[in-house]
Homo-oligomer: A and B are copies of this chain.
Amino acid sequence: MSLFTAGQEIYQLIEELYPICRSITGDGFRQSLGIMGKHIPLDVHEVPSGTGVLDWTVPREWNIREAYIKNSAGEKIVDFKNSNLHILNYSVPVNGKFRLDELKEHLFSLPDYKDWIPYRTSYYKENWGFCVTHNLLESLADDEYEVVIDSSLENGHLTYAEYLVPGETDDEFLISCHCCHPSLFNDNLSGMGLAIQLAKTLGQRKPRYTYRFLFIPGTIGSITWLAHNRETVSKIKHGLVVACVGDRGKLHYKKSRHGDREIDRAALHVLSNAGQEYGIIDFFPYGYDERQYSSPGFDLAVGCLSRTPHGKFPQYHTSADNLDFISAECLGDSYEKYLQIIDVIEGNKVYRNTHPYGEPQLGRRGLYAAFGGRKDSNAWEMAMLWILNYSDGQHSLLDIAEQSAISFTLIRECAEVLVQHELLVEILM
């Protein structure tokens, strides 16, 4: 499938998911999993409110049906139906009349972006409120307003889903994606779509690693999953958090906690060989769910590949994170880089040169001729020599790619040819 097609498939899926009002619990989350589950068979988990998870507790489930503000003339001046960002996420039910000054304490806007609606939540502190454009806020007359929020905050469940692609080994590669944001395209419908596309692709392969996809609410979701998988989490050898992968900015890779893990080196190799500008960010204990995976007790090698990172674009957590803000092309480009990083990790094996004393005579094996017709025959010859020289049991193919400044793709292709000629054997680590 072409990358363009992949980008368009992602785009179509997230357009379908866009209108749903998601939160960290509730039917919006379930409904979204339902749509995603049409593409890959999701294993959905329901965890009851009140369940202790690590230092946290699963909160009550939130659902919302209706919410509006009417002025004294009976006009609905704010209506949840028009944008599910209008409601302060996790607002408690309200039905009453408020003077303007009372109402204003529950209104949130962006003075710097007067026609954007902000996205706000109050998960762990009971509150109610509306997010509105600053233009609307400024236009409000000194009036009495009727406020209706028909929501419920009750014992229920936290919902999340897993999808597992079994590999040759039990060692796992984690792909984690928060799915709790309402109608925001880049953060994180783009991640949800890309992860589904990746899952579809990997589901058709028999990879070396077992791939575990997590579709979870942010923070509480990863904490819940970690709490329930505490004994087996050490199977995870590599991981990526998928978020903000649809905007037009350049790609940014945020390193894992130790900064020098295989996932970090694979991501750097892919980005530095892509011929595009990119950014590298050292780990910091903030951002998305890598915060939880990288807490010192778990200390997993999980990085995060985004385009413009978390909080670094003005549209972040506003109604301007909309359809126009992302592009199918950028989604496709991000998807390609995820696949390439996975290819590096999959192919990063250690080999031993079976003829380590002097160079093996490549000519009589036809190994110069083999590539003679190729335009890059010189590159192939150099790649062969690098692999043979450094396949001493101390260097993986990625080590050799880094040291030789030859692309991992060429190094791996070439290693396969050398294996066929019995000049190389894999060392099982």
CA distance A222 to B359 in the complex (A): 11
Residues of B within 8 A of A107 (CB): none
Q: How many copies does the complex hold?
A: 3
A363 CB within 8 Å of chain B: yes
A298 contacts B by Cβ under 8 Å: yes
Given contacts A284-B404, A364-B124, contact A390 B296 (CB under 8 A): yes
* 0/1 string, A114-134, CB within 8 A of B gives 1: 000000000011000000000
Question: In whole angstroms, what is the CA distance A361 to B57 when docked?
Answer: 9
CA distance A211 to B219 in the complex (A): 47
Q: Which of A219, A299, A388, A389 gathers most chain B CB within 10 Å?
A: A389
Establish whether residues B385 and A286, one from each chain, have CB atoms under 8 Å apart when the complex forms.
Answer: yes
In the complex, chain B residues whose CB is within 8 Å of the CB of A223: 358-359
Rounded to whole angstroms, the CA-CA distance of A364 and B356 in the bound complex is: 59
Residues A240-282 near B (CB distance < 8 A): 257
Query: Which residues of chain B come closer than 8 Å to A294, judged between CB atoms?
Result: 389
How many chain A residues sit at the interface, stated as a range, is: 35 or more
Interface contact B55-A389, CB-CB below 8 Å: no
B residues less than 8 Å from A318 (CB atoms)? none
Residues in A380-427 with C-beta less than 8 Å from chain B: 382, 385-386, 388-392, 404
Considering the complex, give the chain B residue whose CB is closest to the CB of A365. Answer: B55
**Residues from 350 to 369 in A contacting B, C-beta threshold 8 Å:** 353, 355-361, 363-364
**Residues of A114-172 whose CB lies within 8 A of B:** 124-125
Q: Chain A 274-308 against B: per-residue CB contact (8 Å), 1 yes, 0 no? A: 00000000001110000110111111000000000
- Least Cβ–Cβ distance between A334 and chain B, in angstroms: 27
Query: Are A359 and B392 in contact, CB atoms less than 8 angstroms apart?
Result: no
> Is the beta-carbon distance between B285 and A357 smaller than 8 angstroms?
no
Contact A382 B55 (CB under 8 A): no
A243 CB, nearest partner CB in chain B, Å: 18
A230 interface residue, CB < 8 Å from B?
Answer: yes
Judged by a CB distance under 8 angstroms, whether A226 is at the interface is yes
Residues of B close to A295: CB separation below 8 A: 356-359, 388-389
Docked-complex contact B124 and A55, CB < 8 angstroms: no
Interchain nearest-CB distance for A300 vs B (Å) = 11
Asked whether, in the complex, the Cβ of B125 is within 8 Å of the Cβ of A296, the reply is: no
Give chain B residues whose Cβ lies under 8 Å from the Cβ of A284: 382, 386, 404
A392/B299 in contact, CB under 8 A: yes
Smallest Cβ distance from A187 to chain B, in angstroms? 19
Query: Do A355 and B257 touch (CB < 8 A)?
Result: no
**Which residues of B sit under 8 angstroms from A296, Cβ to Cβ?**
353, 356, 388-392
Let me know if A386 and B55 touch, CB within 8 A: no
Asked if A357 and B226 sit within 8 Å, CB to CB, the answer is yes
Q: Which residues of B contact A364 (CB under 8 A)?
A: 124
Closest CB-CB distance, A349 to chain B, in whole Å?
A: 17
B388 touches A358 (CB 8 A): no
| Interchain residue pairs A-B with the least CB separation, the first 5 | A297-B356, A297-B357, A285-B389, A296-B392, A54-B358
